[in-house]
């Protein structure tokens, strides 16, 4: 897992529309990289809906919100459409969970990404990492605290 102060591993993944999104292509803007297990699951849906409802927290900090799961872009497109998400959902589908593995948050036994968030500054450096246990959503206050470290 990349530690605070370390460079965030670069990647390119397709979003729910099949458009490639690369971390290096977002340099100059902070990023909140949110790994989640599966689209349409109860806890994940609740978590991402809370992020959607709180997009102003990210926009006010000029932070690009990216959510990553091992689902296909097709499943993520249906999920985004059903829940009206206005942020990119990235498909870490094939090679299965490769980006989650590089970030140290892939659970090989269950074949899914763990619930982990990496806040990355405009230069590509990890400024905060937080996670929650399976079945437990991350709290919005954890995002606020992590985003505050970008201006510290």
The catalytic site residues sit at 44
Q: What is the DSSP string of the chain?
A: -PPTTSBPPP-EEEETTS-EEESGGGTTS-EEEEE-S-TT-HHHHHHHHHHHHTHHHHHHTTPEEEEEESS-HHHHHHHHHHHT--SEEEE-TTTTTHHHHHTT-EETTTTEE-SEEEEE-TTSBEEEEEE--TT-PPPHHHHHHHHHGGG-
């Amino acid at each position: 897992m990349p530690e605070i102060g370390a460079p965030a591993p670069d990647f390119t993944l397709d979003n729910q529309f099949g458009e490639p999104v690369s971390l290096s292509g977002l340099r100059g803007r902070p990023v909140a990289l949110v790994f989640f297990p599966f689209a349409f699951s109860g806890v994940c849906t609740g978590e991402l809906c809370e992020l959607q409802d709180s997009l102003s927290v990210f926009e006010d900090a000029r932070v690009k919100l990216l959510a990553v799961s091992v689902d296909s872009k097709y499943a993520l497109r249906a999920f985004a459409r059903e829940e009206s998400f206005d942020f990119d959902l990235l498909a870490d589908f094939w090679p299965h969970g490769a980006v989650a593995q590089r970030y140290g948050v892939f659970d090989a036994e269950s074949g899914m990404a763990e619930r982990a968030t990496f806040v990355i500054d405009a230069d590509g450096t990890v400024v905060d990492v937080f996670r929650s246990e399976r079945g437990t959503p991350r709290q919005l206050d954890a995002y606020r605290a992590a985003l505050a470290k970008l201006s510290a």
